[in-house]
Amino acid sequence: MTEPKIIFEDEYILVIDKPHGVVVNRSETQKEETIQDWLSIRAGSNKTNKTNSTNITNEIYDKTKEYYERAGIVHRLDKDTSGVLLIAKNPEVFANIQNQFKEREVVKEYIALVHGDLKEKLGRTNFVFTIDAPIGRNPRNRMKWAVVEGGREALTIFNFQFSIVKDQGCFSLIKCKPKTGRTHQIRVHLTALGYPIVGDPLYLGKKIRTMDLEWCPRMFLHAVKLGITHPVSGKEVVFESSLPNELQILVKN
């Protein structure tokens, strides 16, 4: 597994730059070579920082089991998505940050390259647009998610950056700011719009995906920014990750 880069660390949180192609949490189908395994090795034989506080609320007690099961990993990034990932170092911090996600107080920003010219579709440049469409399991393929009636609320704000013309066609670079945290949310919303992400192994057809891999080595989706209220200091903190080199080179003019 590619070693994650540490973006920030203090006594309470660890922020890493997750490489693409790495699964975050262990599962029945993925039991090694995960970020969770890396954290266990780093901590030493699955040791985790335990809290000594005597002022733990019932909410934090309820979160303790989940904290240890997930090795403090507060949120998820898809296997093929790279970028900022946050880990809590004790159950109190874990509960605090998860609550910030629940209350939509966390700032999340991704960069994606998609098929098609969004400028042409919307008729103007430097625009911001919103997709507010519920997401649930795709009834025709349970491995996928889709915009479906009766799905869970999902809201994403997009900001068009610029178009790119290549031999393979026209593409658009966009910033994506999910306000909710549904599985594959950005990928599903863009696919539903008709502008799927370049290199997406699940939501692109096999032919287009194969063509993408001839010039783009991976799915072009990267978590560039994560902002939270520090659970102890109370200060607003923002963590950032630049586009990896293999993606930067594809969008340089």
Q: What is the pLDDT of residues 158-217, one digit of tens each?
A: 999 999 999 999 999 999 999 999 999 999 999 999 999 999 999 999 999 999 999 999
- Encoded amino acid at 196, one letter: P
Phi, psi (deg, nearest 5) at residue 246: -65, -20
Annotated catalytic residue: which of 37, 78, 80, 212? 78
Stated pTM of the model: 0.90
**pLDDT digits 0-9 by tens, 114-141:** 999 998 887 776 689 999 999 999 999 9
Residue 141: exposed, middle, or buried by beta-carbon count in 10 A (0-12, 13-18, 19+)? exposed
Q: What is the spatial distance between Cα 115 and Cα 147, in angstroms, rounded to a whole number? A: 19
Q: What is the spatial distance between Cα 176 and Cα 131, in angstroms, rounded to a whole number? A: 11
Establish whether 78 is a catalytic residue: yes
List the one residue out of 174, 73, 156 whose CA is nearest residue 108.
Answer: 156
Fold of the CATH domain 106-219: Pseudouridine synthase (3.30.2350)
Mean pLDDT across 91-117: 96
Those residues with Cβ within 8 angstroms of residue 123's Cβ, 6 or more apart along the chain or in another chain: none
Q: Between residues 51 and 78, which one has the greater pLDDT?
A: 78
Angle at 202 (CA atoms; ends 201, 204), nearest 5 degrees = 80
The mean of the pLDDT values for the chain is 90
Token digits for 241?
Answer: 């990750």
**pLDDT digits 0-9 by tens, 6-17:** 999 999 999 999
Mean pLDDT across 221-250: 97
CATH number for region 1-103+226-242: 3.30.2350.10
Residue with tokens 């658009």: 172
Q: What is the spatial distance between Cα 98 and Cα 143, in angstroms, rounded to a whole number? A: 26
pLDDT at 2 (0 to 100)? 82
Q: Within the chain, which residue ranges are assigned CATH 3.30.2350.10?
A: 1-103+226-242, 106-219
Q: What is the per-residue DSSP string for 65-132?
A: HHHHHTTTB-S---TT-EEEEEEESSHHHHHHHHHHHHTT--EEEEEEEEES-HHHHHTSSS-EEEEE
End-to-end CA distance of the chain, in Å?
32
Angle at 152 (CA atoms; ends 201, 68), nearest 5 degrees = 75
Under the banding of pLDDT at 50, 70 and 90, the label for residue 102 is very high
pLDDT at 4 (0 to 100)? 94
Residue with tokens 């970020």: 35
User: What is the helix (H) or strand (E) element at residue 66, kind and residue range?
Assistant: helix 58-69
